[in-house]
Structure 1
């Protein structure tokens, strides 16, 4: 049985968007989709205000903590802190192309050092009992996505990763802003599908440009998981049908009045 087989649908980690309040709101729309935090840098977890950075409402489960970093020891320590806080999964960011992330030698630039990524995964796996996963791109800059993605996938799964989520675009570390990196590099879903053919016994999820649950369902004919990003933020109502479509729960018309009541009570707390 595939690890993480219940996490067929997820809401992507998005900086400045998927904070604890956004996740609580999304959880009112779907009980089953896996929710991700914004990326939190491992150094901040170790040294910073942990409750402010990591605190979340119990209603958010299942919820994964995404970490940024490239030091295996620090990532392992931060992962242990995340597990103690009650997160259901630890995810390593190997996809963010922002200048700040590049200056810290992590995020998408780690696509160039798959052995280091594998070392990071192995260190986290040795410290926690919850799943450790990776979210990456298909490559960066002038990399050929075929060997680049294969090398990354081979390394992380050999190190024990429980899942690999792939944003089906390259990241360009020079010349494109983070916003442009979400739109300009062309999507290559076929590259992710081919990775799944090569790794039939591993959990491969896809991300990038998925605008609807129907599109997610089409991807699930080829891979194990589909991750919605900006569509879940800008048009969150699409999440309301996820539990019926993907998890076999009874379909019912969504109660928006109840949603307003729940969020009003949450805001008052």
Structure 2
């Protein structure tokens, strides 16, 4: 980025983000998003994911700098300090490429849906009945039956979110790996999941779908009563996040692994 980069401000509807935007409006000559070189996003992680998905849907690839005015803000940067400018922050920021997973889901009625996920794709039981899944990787059956609450596949960016809460592994950025983590597995009870190369083609088939309905969720998009779900990483949909020096996403991933 250069000092001449044009910046656009995209703000969450939350009161906190709106207040923060008012404080920034006069600090920089903002431009409309379609004219900008960089998008500055105010809000939380959920709103940032919403913006990334909107860019994908519109076929736009512009670097995104997030500023935390939400709750956790793992994917965001901190607020401006006294004497700092937004232009200066953006110029010094590090670029981090993020690749989404593509989820292709087919429902029991034969409908087909395709959605992208920057954090994770989750398969979750819809009722009190345990979900039963067959796991295929690169066309080969690797597990004939997984019984439990479901399963998820997480990107390195998403490995510290739902995946970590489900006791899945944290993946370093740039590892080009995907974490496959079971959710409360009943059979096989001691299976902890797997780490797969990003190139792996994953297919999850729902066993007894009529009795044991399963929903598939790609970040914020849900498909209910699925029969088959296919998941793979998509390099051609890569986007870019910007992070402050010393507060990079990679540093935060390291920190998560050494918390006590």
Structure-1-length-normalised TM-score: 0.23
- Give the structure with higher Rg (CA): 2
Q: Which has the higher strand share?
A: 2
